[in-house]
Amino acid sequence: MKYLKFITLKKVSYALQLILFLAFSFFSSCSNDDSSNDNGIAWDESIDGELSGNMNSPTIINLELGNNRIIGSSTPSPGAQCTTFQGGPPDPVIPYFPNHESYTDLFSFTLPPNYRISNIIVESLEIEPIHTFEDFPCVGELNSQLGAFTAINNSNQIDWNSDNVINFISMPSQHPLVGAGFAKNVGDDLLSKYRDDFPLDGYEINSADLEIKNGTYTFWWKEGANQANYILNFIVEEFSN
Ligand SMILES: [Ca+2]
Ligand SMILES: [Ca+2]
């Protein structure tokens, strides 16, 4: 009897192992056929590499229906200045961050005619001051800063550079921006900011009827003063015309 029980237990144990094995194989095959972002992550810099800091040559990213999280970070470069230019403000009140290659992240994506971005959600944002108010009064105290500059255009590149202060404060002209806004808080929707007024005077970029659909776009992250770790979710939905 004892022997019989042992056999039965052993059989049960084999059966359990078989079930577990089959279940595991099933789930493995589900996750293994993922070609890019079944887990909702379109780009993770710690795995996929640093996003381009070259304005002429953004990283190309494939966005899919649903969640497309971009997990990245940016690091300020040395050489920050509070400055001005000939004909500019009399006092050095302009924050100028050269060497943008280190603190910008650029990527391009292409949407088919029936896909559009519904939201661009700031899901995570960690900021650590590097070029601080104490050293560079023109950047302002962290709490009073507008946040990380972000923008988008309807092209595969953005004409801008940080070679001198004039270029730094100039907006792209050959490949103009269609939306710009600051990432400040978790939960911000950047697309909705791109449809609101831009918070600084003198920039005619945003429009309430902006649609990001049907074409190639470049997204631009620029945070020159602070170390930033971010997760942005570019949510893609299908629509019918
Ligand atoms: Ca980066
Ligand atoms: Ca970069």
Lowest mean pLDDT: which of 22-36, 50-64, 164-178?
22-36
Question: Has residue 35 got a pLDDT over 90?
Answer: no
Interval between CA 176 and ligand 2 midpoint (Å): 20
Interval between CA 109 and ligand 1 midpoint (Å): 17
Residue 116 is assigned to a structural domain of this protein: yes
Interval between CA 185 and ligand 2 midpoint (Å): 21
Ligand nearest to the CA of 52: 2
Q: Which domain holds residue 73?
A: 36-238
Residue 104 is assigned to a structural domain of this protein: yes
78-134 per-position pLDDT tens digit: 999 999 999 999 999 999 999 999 999 999 999 999 999 999 999 999 999 999 999
Residue 20 is assigned to a structural domain of this protein: no
Interval between CA 112 and ligand 1 midpoint (Å): 26
Residue 88 is assigned to a structural domain of this protein: yes
Question: Has residue 239 got a pLDDT over 60?
Answer: yes
Interval between CA 229 and ligand 1 midpoint (Å): 9
Residue 24 is assigned to a structural domain of this protein: no
Interval between CA 235 and ligand 1 midpoint (Å): 20
Domain count, the chain: 1
Residue 1 is assigned to a structural domain of this protein: no
Share of the chain above pLDDT 70, in %: 84
38-93 per-position pLDDT tens digit: 689 999 999 999 999 999 999 999 999 999 999 999 999 999 999 999 999 999 99
For ligand 1, an ion, list residues with CB under 5 A. 51, 72, 74, 105
pTM of structure = 0.84
Query: Token pair of 7, please?
Result: 């056999």
Interval between CA 233 and ligand 2 midpoint (Å): 17
Residue 51 is assigned to a structural domain of this protein: yes
Question: Has residue 21 got a pLDDT over 60?
Answer: no
More confident residue, 34 or 36: 36
Residue 19 is assigned to a structural domain of this protein: no
